[in-house]
A and B are shown apart, each in its own frame.
Chain A
Amino acid sequence: MARIGVFICWCGENIARTVDVEKVTESAKRFPGVAYATNYKYMCSDPGQNLIREAIREHKLTGVVVAACSPHMHEQTFRNACALERLNPYLCEMANIREHCSWVHEDRDRATEKATDIIRTMVEKVKRNEPLYPIRVPVTKRALVIGGGIAGIQAALDIANAGIEVVLVEKAPSIGGHMAQLSETFPTLDCSQCILTPKMVEVARHPKIKLYHYSEVDTVEGYVGNFERKIRRKARSVIEEKCIRCGLCQEKCPVRKVPDEFNAGLGMRRAIYIPFPQAVPALPVLDRDHCLQFLKGKCGVCSKVCPTGAIDYGQQETIVSEKVGAIVLATGYQLYTIAKPQNESLYAGYGEYGYGTYPDVVDGLQFERLLSASGPTTGEVKRPSDGTVPKSIAFLTCIGSRDNAKGITFCSKICCMYLAKHAMLYKHKVHDGQAYVFYMDIRSDGKNYDEFVRRAVEEDGVVYFRGRVSKIFKRNGRLVLKGVDTLSASQVELEVDMVVLGAAIMPQPGVEKLAQKLGVPYDKYGFLSEAHPKLRPVETASAGVFLAGACQAPKDIPDAVGQAGCAASKVLGLLSADEIERLPTVAKVNENNCIACWACLEACPYGAIEKKEVRDRKGNLIKMVAEVNDALCQGCGTCVAVCRSNSVDLKGFTDEEIFAELNAL
């Protein structure tokens, strides 16, 4: 015998102004099965909740309908109140008469009728609700961090320092990411390597961090608290335990002309190489695509000179398996390719700047390498074309960014700052040089950022033009820029020795595939999506998977480190209990009816459905049926929709409950 309580909220004025709540209360009292109905100004307040609790006690209610705002707001509030009175929280539902009624209609009479209808449907539903209990799953107290740049490193350290073991996977031969390529960082002009390498070394030495360098994540299975990852460890051709880091192999390698990725293509490396002097691990890696031994079967010099026999041409890649409870994605960024041909048809390049045609037109990372003491010119600013010192350099902002016509609409956030930094560092190294910056707006919004840019203008004499450059071409051997200065409304023509382009910040290639494996959404550029742009910046739609750093959106180092700490705290929160509770509104298969066509299994976006064998007592196979993994299921209802034989139902939203709602209209 149903005894439903209906509680109608005025929501101050939000509902009561449009809906006649007294009239609705009187109607609700007469619904079949309703034992008690009342209204109150603010149901979500303490006295409001107490009203519900008292009514449950006094009237022995078997179910509760709160007619108020959206369940997104307060379903949890009212369910908690019911639970305190020993009424199963899933016997409490909300009827949305605010977002679905009072906020979208103006006619008072008709809105009142509609509110009455909505409440009637929810009363009919609640009469058929069943009590549900949370599902508890055990948690593996380990974490996985994908990406060994500054964000990944920081997240790994923060989690490991709390005593949780971290597996850190980095696809490059060394950790450090792009920060390791920078010369000095804004706004303090700290040497990037000097502040980064202590953290890199800490990661290598930390007893709670397991570093898989030169490795990639292969497959993912499982769900929050219980992920199983297969990690593919690529073959360096060097035996880690034997190598003594003497560097002889690199010194003697006859292949000298492989474009160096660490130097952004400006310098050359050997076929066997240590990525950079401060690399962690400082192990050499053999690039099989350029090694004579692998291409032609003859050389073997590195193996001959190695004093410990650490070179192993036969080394194979291996697959290791790791069980973790939470994952942090910190895959970082890459620069937009400026030249005309683009990999993605979504973007268009700039042919007019001569990038790729003139060697003296470079991008931001390439200029960093020229400035860096460990770079191809040992820190002297020299033109890539002829090695002379440039006496004038132009720095162009917004190359790719903020340009609808080129397919990228966002601002890359860091370029205004790093181009000001480049201009200042150039002036510090070449005292009689002249630096020009062409800008659209200056975005220097961090702490001490604006002062930094002002320093470039006032102390280092950098000339700022507010305008864009339309074309760069060569005339008598010099680079000529044609641009505009909108503040003085004049055209600008400059002859410079070098140009640095501030290219847009894009996500790493291949991150879409990784995101698909993890069930994390991403936007059209490939930036991974956070669960809520303001309130949940590090969580994703996939429970147990978090984000840190530039993979989510372009950001500078302070923000990346901050976000990494935030992700670490979420991971620590998740892993702090031995068990986590999952919502019980999951799907359930009726095994009598299931005909094992696997439509649900294929359609489930979370891979939550498995094949199950039904056997008799003697062990003979009778039939196969589908089975839902409670812990993986997110209650989306896709399986319910695709099942032709109507054999799957969603707890908390069963066919009967929904049908009762429809019938009540």
Chain B
Amino acid sequence: MGNGLRELNEIAEGLLARGDVGVVVGYANGSLPGKTTPAFITKPEDAAKLVWNTRCYNNLSRYLTKKLVRKFGTIGLVAKGCDVKSVIVLIQENQIVRDQVKIIGVTCEGMSPIAGRPTSFLSKCVNCRVKTPTLYDHLIKMDEHPDQVDVDLSEIERLDGTNAENRWSFWTEHLSRCIKCYACRAACPLCYCAQCIVDKHRPRWVESSSHLRGNIEWNIIRAMHLAGRCIDCGECTRVCPANIPLNLLNKKMEEVVGENFKYRPGETADVAPWFQTYREQDVAEFFK
């Protein structure tokens, strides 16, 4: 606990007291030691409940598209660099207007894993280029550091090096365990559709039962709908109860979009999303 946290509490209190925001969405202590939980502070005196440590891994921008939170009016959001990227995409896609959210940016040196869980979701932290958020209304310098992390960075390169058959069996092995709980969808800040395509039954495009074909359909559709939008916050992988390395799929799509269309999501809200705009310099090698 350093000066950073005190500053966070003061800023939150100030925003609420002045009425600049109707709610501050941040992190509070969780029910178990070593865990945090998303907190929705509406009274200035409750601002002291906000905490900051290396377990604040939730991407709170998820709540920016929730009606119950938007009811409070302007939202104060405690956001790390990766969280701010999804805020940027939400602004690009017209889900929130810039002045409806007061971004309380925090610098972050990385989030540590929970003991006993695979560490693949923290690959995002080791190569992080947004330790300071790129967009904010307030910026707080925090001085927490994570413990030493043992991470396998080269998973995508390793998979790319194998042939299609190997990659297929890698994914069918993982996806066979999917139980269609849709936790990945619930945690993802960019899965904000009022009715998800998987829930549509006239016609039923995607099987909802958890057999392999339906699992592959669901996860591929999700990866396709996030192509060029996913900013690799890793929440999907963190919340998956079946330990499927979902963020690998999304990261690969991000690489494909980045190489072919020279576009990285979450950098600026001033450009239109790549998928729905035509630019003369777009690659068209698939036209013969």
Residues of A within 8 A of B (CB): 592-603, 624, 642, 644-646, 655-656, 659-660
Q: How far is the CA of A595 from the CA of B272 in the complex (A)?
A: 17
A645 touches B195 (CB 8 A): yes
Give 8 nearest A-B pairs by CB, closest first: A659-B203, A602-B276, A645-B193, A603-B276, A599-B276, A597-B93, A644-B225, A646-B197
Least distance between B22 CB and chain A CB atoms (Å): 17
A598 touches B94 (CB 8 A): yes
Q: How far is the CA of A659 from the CA of B203 in the complex (A)?
A: 7
Q: How far is the CA of A656 from the CA of B203 in the complex (A)?
A: 5
Of A592, A624, A642, A660, the residue contacting B194 (CB under 8 A) is: A592
Instruction: Evaluate whether A645 and B194 lie within 8 angstroms (CB atoms) in the complex, with A599-B276, A655-B203 already known.
Output: yes
B197 touches A642 (CB 8 A): no
Please give, as numbers and ranges, the residues of chain B lying within 8 Å of A659 by CB-CB distance: 203, 205
Instruction: Evaluate whether A645 and B196 lie within 8 angstroms (CB atoms) in the complex, with A599-B273, A656-B202 already known.
Output: yes
A646 touches B200 (CB 8 A): yes
Residue in B closest to A663 when the chains form the complex, CB atoms: B203
Q: How far is the CA of A656 from the CA of B201 in the complex (A)?
A: 10
Q: B277 an interface residue at 8 Å Cβ cutoff? A: yes
Q: B261 an interface residue at 8 Å Cβ cutoff? A: no
Of B193, B205, B225, the residue contacting A595 (CB under 8 A) is: B193
B203 touches A602 (CB 8 A): no
Q: Among the interface residues A595, A601, A624, A655, which one has the most CB atoms of the partner chain B within 10 A?
A: A595
Of A592, A603, A644, A646, the residue contacting B205 (CB under 8 A) is: A646
Q: How far is the CA of A616 from the CA of B93 in the complex (A)?
A: 24
Q: B209 an interface residue at 8 Å Cβ cutoff? A: no
Please give, as numbers and ranges, the residues of chain A lying within 8 Å of B202 by CB-CB distance: 655-656
A642 touches B95 (CB 8 A): no
B64-119 with Cβ < 8 A to chain A: 93-95
Residue in B closest to A516 when the chains form the complex, CB atoms: B280
Least distance between A638 CB and chain B CB atoms (Å): 9
Q: B182 an interface residue at 8 Å Cβ cutoff? A: no
Binary A-proximity of B195-216 (CB < 8 A = 1, otherwise 0): 1110010110100000000000
B275 touches A599 (CB 8 A): yes
Q: B192 an interface residue at 8 Å Cβ cutoff? A: yes
B225 touches A642 (CB 8 A): no
Residues of B within 8 A of A (CB): 93-95, 192-197, 200, 202-203, 205, 225, 272-273, 275-277
Q: How far is the CA of A624 from the CA of B97 in the complex (A)?
A: 13
Q: How far is the CA of A646 from the CA of B206 in the complex (A)?
A: 12
Please give, as numbers and ranges, the residues of chain B lying within 8 Å of A646 by CB-CB distance: 195, 197, 200, 205
Q: How far is the CA of A597 from the CA of B276 in the complex (A)?
A: 10
Residue in B closest to A596 when the chains form the complex, CB atoms: B94
B93 touches A598 (CB 8 A): yes
Q: How far is the CA of A596 from the CA of B272 in the complex (A)?
A: 14
Least distance between A587 CB and chain B CB atoms (Å): 15
Residue in B closest to A642 when the chains form the complex, CB atoms: B276
Q: How far is the CA of A601 from the CA of B276 in the complex (A)?
A: 8
Q: How far is the CA of A596 from the CA of B94 in the complex (A)?
A: 7
| A-B contact list, 5 entries, CB within 8 Å | A595-B192, A595-B194, A601-B276, A642-B275, A645-B193
Q: How far is the CA of A646 from the CA of B202 in the complex (A)?
A: 11
A644 touches B276 (CB 8 A): no
Please give, as numbers and ranges, the residues of chain A lying within 8 Å of B277 by CB-CB distance: 602-603
Q: Among the interface residues A599, A642, A655, A656, which one has the most CB atoms of the partner chain B within 10 A?
A: A599
Least distance between B74 CB and chain A CB atoms (Å): 16
Q: How far is the CA of A599 from the CA of B227 in the complex (A)?
A: 14
B197 touches A645 (CB 8 A): yes
Of A597, A603, A642, the residue contacting B94 (CB under 8 A) is: A597
Least distance between B67 CB and chain A CB atoms (Å): 10
Least distance between B279 CB and chain A CB atoms (Å): 11
Please give, as numbers and ranges, the residues of chain A lying within 8 Å of B273 by CB-CB distance: 599, 602
Least distance between A594 CB and chain B CB atoms (Å): 8
Residue in B closest to A655 when the chains form the complex, CB atoms: B203
Q: How far is the CA of A133 from the CA of B196 in the complex (A)?
A: 31
Least distance between B135 CB and chain A CB atoms (Å): 19
Please give, as numbers and ranges, the residues of chain A lying within 8 Å of B195 by CB-CB distance: 593, 645-646
Least distance between B105 CB and chain A CB atoms (Å): 25
Least distance between B66 CB and chain A CB atoms (Å): 13
Least distance between B230 CB and chain A CB atoms (Å): 13
Q: How far is the CA of A624 from the CA of B192 in the complex (A)?
A: 15
Q: How far is the CA of A599 from the CA of B205 in the complex (A)?
A: 20
Residue in B closest to A605 when the chains form the complex, CB atoms: B278
A597 touches B95 (CB 8 A): yes
Please give, as numbers and ranges, the residues of chain A lying within 8 Å of B225 by CB-CB distance: 644
Please give, as numbers and ranges, the residues of chain B lying within 8 Å of A598 by CB-CB distance: 93-94, 276
Q: How far is the CA of A596 from the CA of B91 in the complex (A)?
A: 12
Residue in A closest to B272 when the chains form the complex, CB atoms: A602
Q: How far is the CA of A600 from the CA of B205 in the complex (A)?
A: 20
Residue in B closest to A601 when the chains form the complex, CB atoms: B276
Least distance between A608 CB and chain B CB atoms (Å): 14
Residue in A closest to B277 when the chains form the complex, CB atoms: A602
Please give, as numbers and ranges, the residues of chain A lying within 8 Å of B200 by CB-CB distance: 646
Residue in A closest to B92 when the chains form the complex, CB atoms: A597
Residue in A closest to B202 when the chains form the complex, CB atoms: A656
Please give, as numbers and ranges, the residues of chain B lying within 8 Å of A596 by CB-CB distance: 94-95
